[in-house]
Amino acid sequence: MASGNAMEIIILGGGIAGLTTALSLIKFAPASQPPRITIYEIRPEPATIGGAVNLTPNALRLLSHLGALDEIRAKDYGAECLAVEVFDLYTNVKIAESSFKGPEGKGLGDPPFTALRITRGEALKGVLAAIEKHSNIELICGKKTTKIDEDESGVSIEFEDGGKARADILIGCDGIHSVTRLKHVEPERKAIYSGICNAFGFAPRRKDPSTGEFEPVHFSVSGMNFGRRGALLTSFHDRAQESIYVGALMQVPEIADRNGWKAAGADAQKTRNEMLERYSGAANPQIAHWIEDAEGLYLWPVFTLSKGGKWATDRVMLIGDSAHAMPPQGESTGIVFEDGVLFSRCLAKWMETRRDQGVPVKEAFDAYEALRRARIDIAFDESQSVVKTVQDTPWLGHKIKMNVVPWYLWWTRTYREKHFVEDVTTASKPKNHTMRPYFDASERPSFRTLAAGDEARPYHTYTALHMNCAFSPFEDTKGASYVASETKSMGASQARNADGGDEEDGQGRNETAARAGEERA
């Protein structure tokens, strides 16, 4: 691969992971070596199944770098979220909030960003609009990959329709059921069903018959309602505030389909009844109304991968859920954005300094893994208590939790805010990295230097945003009390679980789910 030749890159998966990775590759590539990128998507057109996600300040910062946030704002997609409010389901009392406002009320970081609650469909539309502005990115839909081969000079793929393609490298952004992983990188590493599903839908707001105005709600934009059997997310997802996103976790011991599906008929009523029963006893009667009124109910099985695993071969790299799918832990979408940006920076540095020397591209792959693996391992460890969030909690445990959460959010506020102002577009090389430095000292590091015992803080403290207390303030005390174990067992990231859906599965999803992927947004 001489530096005078444009680098050819194939991306499998045309969901949010593949599209943002393509934008990152263009953004950070050397001006003298703009790559040519082809994205192959199994579905007949770009689509996504999923609910409404909360894009935190660091996620919005990356979308801004990539040019997608301007497109989202131009279309007025999403609802600005200044804080996630926390309520006791049984009293309807607001007990705490986790704010994105920053010290001056304008957001966090420089420039400041707040957060955005947005449907996955609208987020995808915004990213697609940004893609359309780049002539060297091509998106081809309706292509199912059946074979992947690589040699010393490149990667070849074959499609079900008989077509073929070849490139210098291939990036698998095709989700939990990744064809890239299952057919080439690590076939034995298969998805594991967690035993839980996300259940979510959108409820039209009711109007007061006497005034014709919308009934008032108990939250500003996003409210997390904590009960004994988990948390129910209720949130606006657009500026008009005409409907409410309702999301929760459901225990489903056995499933017939590995993909998400739209509940209909008896399935829909069964799902609705389970949600009503799970959150019965709510002090606010609107909770039951929103569940009863929710349209387009979806069930989304939560699959995971084992920790670690193989991410790359010499010329094929896995990004996002295809590499490290885990139970919901609060920041799935942001993690995907970070993956794409960090990988693109490593590849760009290799293109600038090593490509014309004949150094294999695997050096860039290794640099990315050295930067990324520790962080992903931390997030994975944090996420493992997710299944417990749908299990019954004693009344005493619930009461303790409602008293601990406000204190915990106060205690972790500084850590959360430091995480939200981090910018991986300026991250330094990893500590103990023995390879040639990929980011020199002149490039401002954005990852804080942390003591060994503190390196889990960025993701653990983000979990506090979702009010789960996975990293208990009592946890470092020997002989931890019932409070510590109980708050920890109440689970990591109930709010992100309720966000609904997972990273886009552009090549791994089957045909039935592909057709079902035409979502409400």
What does the DSSP assignment read for 49-69?
A: ---EEEE-HHHHHHHHHTTHH
The answer to whether 129 and 123 are in contact (CB under 8 A) is: no
pLDDT band at residue 414, thresholds of 50, 70 and 90?
Answer: confident
Whether the pLDDT of residue 179 is over 70: the answer is yes
- For 497, phi then psi, to 5°, come to -55, -45
* Angle at which helices 57-65 and 16-28 cross, to 10°: 60
pLDDT tens across 107-142, in order? 999 899 999 999 999 999 999 999 999 999 999 999
pLDDT band at residue 499, thresholds of 50, 70 and 90?
Answer: very low
Residue closest to 385 by CA, chosen among 304, 475, 300, 490: 490
Per-residue pLDDT, 464: 33
pLDDT tens across 274-317, in order? 999 999 999 999 999 999 999 988 888 889 999 999 999 999 99
Q: Which of 31-35, 154-158, 484-488 has the lowest mean pLDDT?
A: 484-488
CA 121 vs. chain centroid, Å, equals 14
DSSP code for 425: G
Q: Which tokens is 261 given?
A: 């599906």
pLDDT band at residue 509, thresholds of 50, 70 and 90?
Answer: very low
Whether the pLDDT of residue 170 is over 70: the answer is yes
Of all residues in the chain, the percent with pLDDT exceeding 70 is 77
Q: Coil, strand or helix: which one is 172?
A: strand
Of all residues in the chain, the percent with pLDDT exceeding 90 is 61
**If you average pLDDT over each of 96-110, 414-428, 501-515, which comes out highest?**
96-110
Q: Please tell me which residue, 488 or 260, carries the higher pLDDT value.
A: 260
Average pLDDT over residues 31-57: 91
Per-residue pLDDT, 96: 96
DSSP code for 18: H
Q: Which of 11-25, 150-164, 182-196, 490-504 has the lowest mean pLDDT?
A: 490-504
Q: Which of 30-39, 263-272, 382-391 has the lowest mean pLDDT?
A: 382-391
Whether the pLDDT of residue 489 is over 50: the answer is no
Q: Please tell me which residue, 256 or 138, carries the higher pLDDT value.
A: 138
Per-residue pLDDT, 455: 39
**If you average pLDDT over each of 103-112, 147-156, 394-403, which comes out highest?**
147-156
Per-residue pLDDT, 427: 64
Domains and CATH numbers, the chain: 8-190+306-499 (3.50.50.60)
**If you average pLDDT over each of 126-135, 194-203, 294-303, 379-388, which comes out highest?**
126-135
Alpha-carbon gap, residue 93 to 232, rounded angstroms:
15
Q: Which of 168-177, 180-189, 507-516 has the lowest mean pLDDT?
A: 507-516
- Lay out the sheet containing 52-55: strands in order across: 52-55, 115-119, 79-81
Per-residue pLDDT, 388: 67
Per-residue pLDDT, 296: 87
Per-residue pLDDT, 314: 98
pLDDT band at residue 252, thresholds of 50, 70 and 90?
Answer: confident
In whole numbers, what is the pLDDT of the chain averaged over residues? 82
Q: Please tell me which residue, 473 or 429, carries the higher pLDDT value.
A: 429
- Amino acid identity for residue 79 in this structure: A
Per-residue pLDDT, 483: 29
Per-residue pLDDT, 428: 59
Per-residue pLDDT, 387: 64
Alpha-carbon gap, residue 28 to 220, rounded angstroms:
38
